[in-house]
């Protein structure tokens, strides 16, 4: 019983550590560049770019459950890093 509890707690720790790693990675991979792209889309200066990014994101999310899980982890990292 103690071993199961220890393994469960270890799993939770590894999950939270992985989410923190994703969060810090978004900052290293160009948080400013991503914010610039989002600002460009929100300003309406390049609507076709917004459509292209939306189509790409939609196709990635709907391609498989593994990609959906990776996308959710990425979104959690983006939200934690302060992106809108």
pLDDT profile of the chain (84 residues), mean per 10 = 89 86 71 70 73 77 67 76 68
Q: pTM for this structure?
A: 0.38
Question: What pLDDT shows up at residue 68?
Answer: 67
Question: What pLDDT shows up at residue 24?
Answer: 75
Q: In sequence order, which ranges of the chain are alpha helices (DSSP H)?
A: 2-28, 31-43, 47-61, 65-80
The parent domain of residue 34 ranges over: 2-80
By the 10 Å C-beta count (0-12 exposed, 13-18 middle, 19+ buried), 11 is classed as exposed
Question: What pLDDT shows up at residue 66?
Answer: 62
Question: What pLDDT shows up at residue 50?
Answer: 74
Tally the domains of the chain.
Answer: 1
How many residues appear in the chain? 84
First to last CA, the chain: 43
Question: What pLDDT shows up at residue 67?
Answer: 63
Is the distance from CB of 26 to CB of 78 less than 8 angstroms? yes
């Amino acid at each position: 019983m103690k071993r199961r509890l220890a393994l469960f707690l270890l799993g939770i720790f590894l999950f939270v550590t992985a989410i923190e790693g994703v969060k810090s990675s978004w900052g290293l991979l160009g948080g400013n560049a991503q914010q610039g792209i989002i600002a460009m889309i929100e300003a309406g200066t390049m609507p076709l770019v917004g459509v292209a990014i939306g189509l790409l994101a939609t196709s990635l999310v709907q391609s498989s459950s593994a990609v959906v899980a990776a996308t959710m982890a990425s979104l959690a990292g983006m939200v934690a890093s302060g992106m809108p």
